[in-house]
Amino acid sequence: MQRVKINQLLGSKTAMDSVVVKGWVRTKRNAKDFSFMEVNDGSCLKNIQIIAGADLANYPEVERITTGSAISVTGPLVASPGKGQSWEVQAREVEIISLSPEDYPLQKKRHTDEFLRTIAHLRPRTNKFGAIFRIRSEVIQAIHMFYRDRGFYCLSAPVITGSDCEGAGDMFRVTSLDPAEVARQGRMNFNEDFFGTQANLTVSGQLSAEMFALSLGDVYTFGPTFRAENSNTSRHVAEFWMLEPEMAFCDLDGNMDHGEELVKALTRHVMEHCAEDLSLFTKFVDKSLGGMLDTLVEQPYERVTYDEGVEILQKSGRKFEFPVDNGMDLQSEHERFLAEEYFKKPLFLTNYPKDIKPFYMRQNDDGRTVAAVDLLVPRIGELIGGSQREERLDHLERRMDEMGLSKADYWWYLDSRRFGTVSHSGFGMGFERFLMLITGITNIRDVVPFPRTPGAINF
């Protein structure tokens, strides 16, 4: 007989004569003539209750089943008299697939997130992390559907690259050198480490996406990106996924319209398709999350310039750790103040000083700012960073000269401005930060299956 997943069983409209359930035992309780087990198979948040009676041939073994053990149960699906559950399985047969020893770390009690991080390989077996990673999977699918519906093409941007998109220099190097050879030479030549040239792990797929937007119209890349910034915060990881749409014939306003539509659509999708998993977060992780999600999908997002934002911060009377100065890059405390306390909803902050932004952003007529845009959201700060791109060859070349970038290295990028250049825009959304936003999870390490942070590369 074929195995039926627990989400299907619990959603059943009728009782069934015989079903097969396979999963892991979450809890077990032995009564006089019965054993009750709560079994989970990962298909949903809920467990199914199994009743195993003393008449089972292997009842002595069944009585000894431990938390964490894997079992297969065959029997009828019947209405459950127990509170809070619709169906249970009355075991006719219990096969013990494997017994888990007593030192299984996930015994029935509440574990801290810190502890669970030390067993990242087992934490998806808990309610909370099972829910997180099911939601994560659902949002990945929703992203591809969102773009497919709108006629965007998905571009697989390279992970190994020769360029530094953001110009921040926080790149991991890729090397093909043999460590023994490096040791013999007594030095590592970083400029030749990738078969004779320099190579890095990508910090952003943007530059590739621009080339494709100027060919296929609307594209997006969605994949892993890497930052070697050694910052130990609750919002940074060294390896994260970034969603990067890039649109031809699109200006800064169109870019913001798109970002707002995206965040709203994905949030709505999760509210509709992950209601049960989401309820764990709205009930137990953050009681104000439900209201936050409503704000995210219902309210129009604010749009203010960097100058206006700085003025609001300076006039706020708030003592920030980093005093606010026009010209500085905003810190997350400033971003959160604007989103969380001042506007109480997401806001787009536009037109940042050019000196704190990369070379590719379109220069504004004031000569001081560029057509940059960040989307700042409550609890997180920066969720999206993007811009209208500098499509004018002369402006772009001048800026590259000012910033000391080699035009020869970027010949291919400059080609796109020589041959049929058009206005275009795009942004990057930190996928993990979006997951934090919609689940209320406050540490980015808890929305990544196996987080990569400074000093931690287990698993």
Residues of this chain that interact with ligand 4AD (CB under 6 A) are 165-166, 204, 206, 227, 236-237, 240, 242, 244, 382-386, 426-428, 430, 432-433
H-helix or E-strand spanning residue 381: strand 381-388
Give the residue with the Cβ less far from ligand 4AD, 62 or 262. Answer: 262
Minimum distance of ligand 4AD from residue 34's CB (angstroms): 49
Structure tokens at 46: 């809920």
Closest to ligand 4AD by CB, 104 vs 410, is 410
Report what 237 binds from Mg ion, ligand 4AD, none; CB cut-off 5-8 Å by kind.
ligand 4AD
**Of 68 and 386, CB closest to Mg ion:** 386
- Between 277 and 382, CB nearer to ligand 4AD: 382
Helix (H, G, I), strand (E, B), or coil: what is residue 373? Answer: strand
Binding partner of 166, given Mg ion, ligand 4AD, none, CB within 5-8 angstroms per partner class: ligand 4AD
Closest contact distance (angstroms) between CB of 99 and Mg ion is 50
Residue 301 touches which of Mg ion, ligand 4AD, none (Cβ within 5-8 Å per kind): none
Q: How far is the CB of 75 from ligand 4AD (least distance, A)?
A: 47
Report d(CA 236, CA 117) in Å as an integer. Answer: 16
Buried b (16+ CB within 10 A) or exposed e, 60-87: eebeebebbbbbbbbbebeebeeeeeeb
Helix (H) or strand (E) holding 255: helix 252-273
CA distance 323 to 302: 24
Least distance CB 130 / ligand 4AD (angstroms): 23
Compute the least distance from the CB of residue 241 to ligand 4AD, in Å: 8
Gyration radius of the chain's alpha carbons: 27
For position 386 contacting Mg ion by CB under 5 A, the verdict is: no
- Cβ 238 to ligand 4AD, closest distance in Å? 7
Type of residue numbered 148: R
Residue 206: name its binding partner from Mg ion, ligand 4AD, none (Cβ under 5 to 8 Å by kind).
Answer: ligand 4AD
Q: What is the dihedral of CA 27, 31, 35, 38, to 10 degrees?
A: -30
We find the least distance from the C-beta atom of residue 385 to Mg ion, in angstroms, to be: 3
**Closer residue to ligand 4AD, CB minimum distance, 125 or 354:** 354
Please select the residue that binds Mg ion; options are 130, 205, 385, 430, rule is CB under 5 A. 385
Buried b (16+ CB within 10 A) or exposed e, 109-126: eeeeeeebbeebeebbbb
| Cβ atoms 92, 51 nearer than 8 A | no
- The helices-and-strands tally (H runs, E runs) of the chain is 14, 16
Q: Find, among 85, 39, 75, the residue nearest to 55 by Cα.
A: 75
Nearest one of 444, 4, 413, 62 to 207, comparing CA atoms: 413
Could you tell me how many residues of this chain bind Mg ion (CB under 5 A)? 1
Q: Which does 439 bind (CB under 5 to 8 A by kind): Mg ion, ligand 4AD, none?
A: none
From Mg ion, ligand 4AD, none, interface partner of 335 (C-beta below 5 to 8 A by class): none
HSE on the CB side for 143, CA within 13 Å? 24
| Nearest alpha carbon to residue 381 among 306, 326, 434 | 434
The residue (of 161 and 204) whose beta carbon lies closer to ligand 4AD is: 204
Backbone angles phi, psi at 442, to 5 degrees: -100, -10
Q: Which stretch binds Mg ion (CB under 5 A): 75-83, 146-154, 252-260, 381-389?
A: 381-389
Q: How far is the CB of 331 from Mg ion (least distance, A)?
A: 12
Nearer to ligand 4AD, 130 or 205 (CB): 205
In the chain, what is the greatest distance between 2 CA atoms, to the nearest angstrom? 85
Interface with Mg ion (CB under 5 A):
385
